[in-house]
A = this chain, B = another copy of it.
Amino acid sequence: MKNVITYPVSARGPADHEVRDQIVAAATEHFSRYGYEKTTVSDLAKAIGFSKAYIYKFFESKQAIGEMICANCLREIEAEVKAAVVAADRPPEKLRRMFKTLVDAGLRLFFSERKLHEIAAAAAIGHWQAAHAYEERIQKLLHDILQEGRQNGDFERKTPLDETAMAIYLVMRPYLHPLLLQHSFDYTEEAPAKLSGLVLRSLSP
């Protein structure tokens, strides 16, 4: 009969979440250099110095790693948008900043982190959970700004709130969506101001 050795916690090696974080960090680095689409889990394992089997213990697929990177990336954009919104006094200005910051963050992702943008594109095409959850959080943020503006009299109250929120989301969506954004570069300079102006006129009480 084999002895069952129980290690004290400290000798067990890194906790699972630490290994996951380590894999995600290394994968982010690797993907941002070599691209997401072209890299296989084997390439990744070789680059990190882990066995492929070991990576598969923590992530069931390349997409699962990509989802984690994508989620981190979208969390960053969201935090930036929220900071811009909080810094504004009134709902109309909050809306303007929300739109502007979303476009700026999207463009930065596209231009300076081109290879990570590839992951965002895959997320959008594949309807990944991370992309879906992000869209929902952005919609929630928009909803909250609208509600605040209705309460303090900045915005009209006749149109059902859900309808207003959805319509404004549809106006913003082409600039949120990584694949749509890349066909709108000619307009990213003027679109946030022009569209915020239109949206605010539509909200006037």
Name A's B-contacting residues (CB within 8 A): 124, 156, 159, 163-164, 166-168, 170-171, 173-174, 177, 179-180, 183-184, 187, 190-191, 194-195, 197-199, 201-203
Contact = CB atoms under 8 A, between A and B. Distances in A.
Contact of A197 (B163, B183, B198, B199): B163
Given A124-B183, A174-B180, A180-B180, A159 B195 contact: no
B183 A171 contact: no
Q: Which of A167, A180, A199 has the most CB of B within 10 A?
A: A167
A156 to B, nearest CB: 8
Q: Which of A159, A177, A179, A180 has the most CB of B within 10 A?
A: A180
A194 B174 contact: no
B180 A198 contact: no
Q: Which of A164, A166, A168, A177 has the most CB of B within 10 A?
A: A166
Which A-B residue pairs are the 4 nearest by beta carbons?
A: A202-B202, A167-B198, A201-B202, A174-B174
Contacts of A190: 166
A132 to B, nearest CB: 11
